[in-house]
Structure 1
Amino acid sequence: MSEQPTAVDVLVVGAGQAGLGTAHHLLRVGVTDVLVVEAAGAIGQVWRDRWESLRLFTPRRFSSLPGMPFPPGPTRTPSRLEMADYLAAYTRRSGLPVRTSAPVVRLGRDGGAFAVRTPDGVVRARHVVVATGAYRRPLVPAAAEDLDGSVHQVHSSSYRRPGELPEGPVLVVGGGNSAAQLALELAGRHEVTVAAPTEPRFLPERVLGVSIYWWLLLGGVLNAGASTPVGRFLRARPEAVLGRRLRRAVREGAVRLIASPVVAADGPRVRLADGTELRPRTVLWCTGFAPDTGWVDVPGALAEDGSPRHARGASPVAGLHWMGLPWQTRVNSSLIDGVDRDARRTARRIAAELRVRRAG
């Protein structure tokens, strides 16, 4: 491994949709001294490593990155493998400079530049765009530690297929789209109970034969700013479940749904806030992710809880930028189709700052 530093104008950390979209726009505005580093061994590997039946919730039209429409296919929404292939093809077509198998161990300062350490050495950069997504560390309630070994536990990020779970009742903890999709998948093999923190809101996938995403786009909801009345209203509400299959399964008795969060566990028992006690053989935690920014060692970059400090993606630390954050600027900032505007804004900001530096 070489320990010789590499110097670039812009280093993008993460080759998911946010990082690739940003690199695309950087090249378009004339910033060519760019390097994208990706922890995984291949573009799109994160998608390949998710559960086998995973499908995107967004239709193909809303699963595209800037400059390359998502290809047509036999299903309305893409599979995880289609998404992985698309990201790899996007990288090739756009000519993006990506270095894989390069996890960032530490992001720090080195004089007037940033020093980014990877297993292959140090990369120095005037600007760094963190596009890893702020929430990548699996999050489970503290009660998980009080379950004994008779209960098989798995987070949704590690779940692959139904056959991996032991026989017996399954408790799916969570009220979002992942919880709904996995509960339905497991209902054919197991007695499934879903413990949702609140009563789920179910949205139809189609209205008058048209994808609900088109209605949300035409109604201005998808592009509503985070600080607008619409944005503030949506942020205050729990995640909506797209599709009504889970609600139908509950009505038909195929899945049991309890709108009450997990508050405690004791040996083989799980207790909910409403007093319900369950004895599952498996607990599938669909409880989201926590900030994974421990590698960022830049004073002023993070809040006390480890979350990014930023204004519309711009860090208070000069030269540091965030991309792909939930509610970064708009409702759909963390969705694939929402990358375009934020990436364009970030690229233009970086290009302007580089021009000022060179002029000075």
Structure 2
Amino acid sequence: MNGQPVVDVLVVGAGQAGLGTAHWLGRAGIDDVLVVEAADAVGQVWRDRWESLQLFTPRRFSSLPGMPFPPGPTATPSRLEMADYLAAYVARYGLSVRTAAPVRLLALDDGAFVAQLPQGAVRARHVVVATGAYGRPRVPAAADDLDGSVHQLHSSSYRRPGDVPEGPVLVVGGGNSAAQLALELAGRHEVTVAAPVVPPFLPERLLGVSIYWWLLLSGVLNAGTGTPVGRFVRSRPEAVLGRQLRRAVRAGAVRLHASPVVAADGPRVCLADGTSLRPRSVLWCTGFESDTAWIDVPGALADDGSPRHEKGASPLPGLHWMGLPWQTRVNSSLIDGVDRDARRTARRIAAALRADAPLRRAD
């Protein structure tokens, strides 16, 4: 193949999905695996989040295959603990990870995948795209219609309350990030939350036990995407873990509008229910979307740029997806949920490599 060496498997992304897959590839006897990571260090994406960030999942549910998350002073890990854990995971299993190596283009050439990196091209028989669905911050189009008097930032750029100027703050979003940051800012700002609907608030503990244990024991966490339980969970708004925001709203410390942002005009933000707000700052906690613009492989993507796959398997031989929300189960995109999907992917790749081995020997 053009005289260039070919790795058996290239894993794009050194987050939980990529590292969990690399682990199971090794357990399947596949040694020729290279993981490439766009950031300068493994776990950097966690270090770059806001300073007070705590994971929503307890330590027991924050582990990758084969390595329990270490104990600590809090029930859930901090962002820095998570970053350190991922780096320790790489060291423990001797995974081959190349950092500061964003894939600028993935294409097919002469029967192999070719990934263009700043350091040069890497050819691979199989590619696992493990960048997840959180590659690019998502901001509503209305943001472009706000004038310069309104300070705007996405949750991915927020670090601490001092990043937000004095004055009223509008937090846009109805998920866990919006709830956490609204509470943090309420200590020094007048905070309003604009959410599409009133989010369901789950208790962090029930009868003294983490709600995650109840979700596991009831079968909800591992419910398949196409099962009645999976379809029900997917049809519901994102649940907020903890009831602190609900208490703050009832106490008048935070205002909540259950109405989405539909437009903006100069200094004003307009909601679907007709409410017009004039915040000094807007914090967009509106999530992320997949960044697949670097993939130039015919048939790999749908018209909207989303991955084409069946339980992580692309219709194109040799291409695989990992860490996607609802890939196979409710918890596919959660840290602890990586295990089963990673094993499935590793077994699929191992079977394909075994089937191809006689052909490679003949070549």
Question: Under TM normalisation by the shorter chain, which class is it?
Answer: over 0.9
Aligned to 1:320: 319
* Alpha-carbon distance between aligned partners in 2 of 1:111 and 1:235, rounded to the nearest angstrom: 41
Which amino acid is 2:18 matched to?
G
Could you tell me how far 1:7 is from its partner in structure 2?
2.2
* Alpha-carbon distance between aligned partners in 2 of 1:352 and 1:112, rounded to the nearest angstrom: 18
Aligned to 2:301: 302
Aligned pair 1:208/2:207, yes or no?
A: yes
The 5 Å alignment of 1:151-300 reads 151-300=150-299
Could you tell me how far 1:224 is from its partner in structure 2?
0.2
* Alpha-carbon distance between aligned partners in 2 of 1:271 and 1:312, rounded to the nearest angstrom: 39
Which amino acid is 1:358 matched to?
A
Which amino acid is 1:307 matched to?
S
Aligned to 1:351: 350
* Alpha-carbon distance between aligned partners in 1 of 2:263 and 2:128, rounded to the nearest angstrom: 39
Aligned to 2:70: 71
Q: Evaluate the alpha carbon distance shift between residue 6 and residue 16 of structure 1 in structure 2; reply closer, same or farther with a 3 A threshold.
A: farther
CA contact (8 A) 1:135 1:291 kept: yes
Aligned to 1:18: 17
Q: Residues 192-212 of structure 1: CA distance to partner in whole angstroms, max 9, x if unpaired?
A: 000001111100000000000
Q: Residues 271-304 of structure 1: CA distance to partner in whole angstroms, max 9, x if unpaired?
A: 1001111000000000011220000000000011
Q: Residues 241-300 of structure 1: CA distance to partner in whole angstroms, max 9, x if unpaired?
A: 000000000011110001000011000000100111100000000001122000000000
Which amino acid is 2:203 matched to?
P
Could you tell me how far 1:134 is from its partner in structure 2?
2.6
* Alpha-carbon distance between aligned partners in 2 of 1:186 and 1:130, rounded to the nearest angstrom: 36
Q: Which runs of 5+ in 2 are unaligned?
A: none
Matched residue SS, 2:283: strand
Which amino acid is 1:322 matched to?
W
Matched residue SS, 1:316: coil
* Alpha-carbon distance between aligned partners in 2 of 1:225 and 1:295, rounded to the nearest angstrom: 30
TM-score by length of 1: 0.98
Aligned to 1:111: 110
* Alpha-carbon distance between aligned partners in 1 of 2:25 and 2:193, rounded to the nearest angstrom: 44
Which amino acid is 2:81 matched to?
E
* Alpha-carbon distance between aligned partners in 1 of 2:273 and 2:310, rounded to the nearest angstrom: 39
Aligned to 1:41: 40
* Alpha-carbon distance between aligned partners in 2 of 1:209 and 1:6, rounded to the nearest angstrom: 56
CA contact (8 A) 1:5 1:121 kept: no
Aligned to 1:58: 57
* Alpha-carbon distance between aligned partners in 2 of 1:131 and 1:106, rounded to the nearest angstrom: 15
Could you tell me how far 1:6 is from its partner in structure 2?
5.0
Matched residue SS, 1:296: coil
CA contact (8 A) 1:168 1:281 kept: yes
Q: Evaluate the alpha carbon distance shift between residue 355 and residue 180 of structure 1 in structure 2; reply closer, same or farther with a 3 A threshold.
A: same
Matched residue SS, 1:81: helix
Which amino acid is 2:125 matched to?
R
Could you tell me how far 1:311 is from its partner in structure 2?
0.2
Percent of pairs with identical residues: 82
Aligned to 2:138: 139
Q: Evaluate the alpha carbon distance shift between residue 258 and residue 5 of structure 1 in structure 2; reply closer, same or farther with a 3 A threshold.
A: farther
Could you tell me how far 1:5 is from its partner in structure 2?
5.3
Matched residue SS, 1:123: strand
Q: Which runs of 5+ in 1 are unaligned?
A: none
Could you tell me how far 1:359 is from its partner in structure 2?
3.2
Aligned to 2:84: 85
* Alpha-carbon distance between aligned partners in 2 of 1:6 and 1:177, rounded to the nearest angstrom: 45
Matched residue SS, 1:336: coil
Q: Evaluate the alpha carbon distance shift between residue 114 and residue 140 of structure 1 in structure 2; reply closer, same or farther with a 3 A threshold.
A: same
